Structure 1
Amino acid sequence: MTGQEYLELLKKRLTHYYDITETQGHTQPEFVLQAELNAADEGYFIVPDLKTYSVQHNEYLYVQQFGEPLTLAMAEPYLAYTKKAMAELKTTTEHMSSVFSLVFICEAGIEPDALAQLTKLRQHKDYCFTLKGWSDLALFLVDIPAQRLHHNKAAAKNAATFAFPKLNKIVV
């Protein structure tokens, strides 16, 4: 599977739940794909006008492709972008959580030092002592030559969405 094939597969998987935009040249640093998911949950008592609670969950997804082995220096602008976006996120009392997901499609692999540091990376932001929720960075490293997905701890629960497809092998 090539990087472009993986990107098309990812678009296909995300299309039902996310609002997808292709962003060539629209952001700094540039991303090949951006997607957003906004979900809300409400509870009410007897009639919908009597709300007992309301919470919002958001996910912001950013995808970038790299043609050479990924280094920590190459990842830094993207990590800084998400850190700034987390700091500038406007929240309300109904906001519960936001996940900022970075997907790096590495067509020439990942340097071992960068892989070790990026899989241990943790970016977390609390808003108003968590009264207005929190944000986490989910980082996915797609190693095309090895056909392997690496991720940090915050990305573990969504890893299946970004995993490589299982090939059905027929044994004779």
Structure 2
Amino acid sequence: MNGQEYLQQLEQRLAHYYDKKPLPKAPAFVLAAELNAADEGYFIIPNLKTYSVQHNEYLYAARFDKQLTAEMAAPYLQFTKEAMAALKTTTEHMSSIYALVFICEAGVDDKTLADLQKLRQHKDYCFTLKGWSDLALYIVDIPAQRLYCNKAGAKEKALFEFAKA
């Protein structure tokens, strides 16, 4: 499987739940998608709402034809950090996950891989009264046919695994 095939597989998996979005101008992404979910509780009738929470996921994928290094990953990590800071929240906002997928067609530098697996990007909004954001990072090593992730990405890792032949 090459990077283009993996990207097509990922798009098929996301099609039911995510909406494709226009690609940001910089850095160079190959896929941008968004998922918005809400949950509400009622008391007897729908007009008596007891609670409402929103959960958002923003997914961005980038392809690299050279071995991934920390310098190559830096602009993408900065992009997500700035997006977290610029996110507009309400009292109904609970959480937002920024999923960043690095599709590496020539592998990943060992030190970079170790650093990215330990990476934690987290932002609280109004002391968590308006929710929080986390970065879920997925590194797809095409030559080794392996998927790596940081701690925040472990929950949704199965969505990004390689298809079984």
* TM score, norm. by length of structure 1: 0.94
- Which residue matches 1:154? 152
Structure 1: stretches of 5+ with no match in the other structure: 168-172
Q: CA deviation at 1:165?
A: 1.2
**Partner of 1:170 in structure 2?**
none
Aligned to 2:20: 20
- d(CA) in 1 for partners of 2:134, 2:84: 8
* Cα offset, 1:106, TM superposition: 0.1
Aligned-residue offset at 1:166 = 1.8
Q: Which of 35, 38, 57 is residue 37 of structure 1 equivalent to? A: 35
Residue 21 of structure 1: how far off its partner (Å): 3.2
- 1:92-111 to structure 2, matched below 5 A, reads 92-111=90-109
Identity %: 69
SS of corresponding position for 1:12: helix
Match of residue 129 from structure 2: 131
Partner of 1:73: 71
Q: Runs (4+) of structure 1 moved beyond 2 Å?
A: none
Aligned with 2:84 (options 83, 86, 98): 86
Secondary structure (helix, strand or coil) at the match of 1:48 reads strand
Q: Please, which runs of 5 or more residues in structure 2 have no aligned partner?
A: none
C-alpha deviations, 1:63-118, integer Å up to 9, x for none?
00000000000000000000000001000000000000000000000000100000
Distance between the aligned counterparts of 2:62 and 2:109, measured in 1?
A: 17
SS of the residue aligned with 1:82? helix
Query: Is contact 1:22-1:32 (8 Å) kept?
Result: no
Distance 1:108 1:82 in 2: 24
Distance in structure 1 (CA, Å) of the matches to 2:127 and 2:96: 15
Of structures 1 and 2, the larger Rg is shown by 1
**Aligned letter for 1:33?**
L
The Cα shift of 1:22 comes to: 5.4
Secondary structure of the 1:50 match is strand
